[in-house]
């Protein structure tokens, strides 16, 4: 209670207190990891994936496909970074089982979720927090710079998520007013952002996510789409 991946702030305090190079937080079954950098900052899971992807690429360990597998929730900034370093990026459905499914299908060797599930297929068939921690340490030794410095190279973009309570889970494609506003927002975002619409698998919720370089535009666009959903199928 009060420690581990769900409460990384406790570990962050210890990193600062002991002037450590990094802190490692695992969840209860240790398949998920949260890392604290040398300045006491909690490292975003997508930034960690970006740093590890570059490490694998620089060591010719990213496999023939040179593909990094993320999910539909992975930050647009991570996708941009992966492409910038010369690798490929694929988005699977949310869940590490779908990441592994894609890896097996395309013979990819590395993938992960922002939540901290990170999979190194050559070493393990599932997320393994201890393995991921060892890889981060290996990465630090290889580049011989601080984790904060490595992480700063992976620039994430603002991301806004709004949950809308709905009466029915109608196909988004069938809601013409929604499609119209989505097209409008896509034209405004151009190649600097994206929209994700999906229903919760367990609750009567529609999830609206918008991300992009312009934070103000991202907030207003997400609200605009959510408002249309509320008026069409909201509770």
Taking only the tens place, the pLDDT of each residue in 14-61 is 999 999 999 999 999 999 999 999 999 999 999 999 999 999 999 999
Predicted local confidence at residue 216, as pLDDT? 93
Q: In what order do the strands lie in the sheet with 67-71?
A: 88-92, 67-71, 110-112, 118-120
Joined tokens for residue 161: 């998520």
For residue 2, name the pLDDT band (cuts at 50, 70, 90): confident
pTM: 0.87
**Greatest CA span in the chain, whole angstroms?**
57
Cα gap 61→54, rounded to integer Å = 10
* Radius of gyration of the chain from its Cα atoms, rounded to whole angstroms: 19
Average pLDDT over residues 90-115: 94
125: Cβ contacts below 8 Å, ≥ 6 apart: 100, 119
- DSSP symbol at 5: G
Predicted local confidence at residue 150, as pLDDT? 96
**pLDDT tens digit string along 193-214?**
899 999 988 889 999 999 998 9
Q: Which residue has the tokens 């919760």?
A: 200
- Which residue in 47, 50, 38, 6 sits closest to 25, CA to CA? 6
Predicted local confidence at residue 125, as pLDDT? 87
Q: How far apart are the first and last CA of the chain?
A: 36
């Amino acid at each position: 209670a009060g420690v581990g991946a769900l409460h990384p702030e406790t570990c962050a305090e210890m990193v600062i207190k002991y002037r450590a190079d990094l802190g490692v937080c695992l969840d209860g079954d240790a398949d998920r990891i949260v890392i604290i950098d040398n300045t006491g900052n909690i490292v975003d899971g997508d930034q960690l994936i970006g740093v590890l992807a570059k490490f694998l690429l620089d060591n010719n360990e990213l496999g023939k496909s040179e593909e990094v597998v993320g999910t539909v929730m992975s930050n647009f900034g991570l996708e941009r970074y992966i492409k910038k370093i010369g690798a490929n990026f694929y988005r699977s459905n949310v869940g590490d089982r779908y990441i592994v499914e894609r890896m097996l299908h395309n013979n990819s060797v590395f993938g992960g979720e922002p939540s901290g599930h990170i999979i190194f297929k050559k070493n393990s068939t599932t997320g393994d927090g201890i393995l991921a921690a060892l890889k981060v340490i290996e990465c630090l030794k290889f580049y011989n710079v601080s984790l904060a410095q490595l992480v700063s190279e992976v620039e994430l973009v603002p991301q806004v998520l709004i949950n809308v309570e709905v009466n029915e889970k109608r196909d988004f494609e069938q809601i013409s007013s929604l499609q119209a506003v989505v097209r409008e927002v896509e034209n405004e975002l151009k190649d600097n952002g994206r929209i994700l619409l999906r229903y919760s698998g367990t609750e009567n919720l529609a999830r609206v996510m918008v991300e992009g370089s312009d934070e103000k535009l991202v907030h207003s666009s997400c609200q605009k789409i959510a408002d249309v959903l509320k008026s069409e199928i909201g509770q």
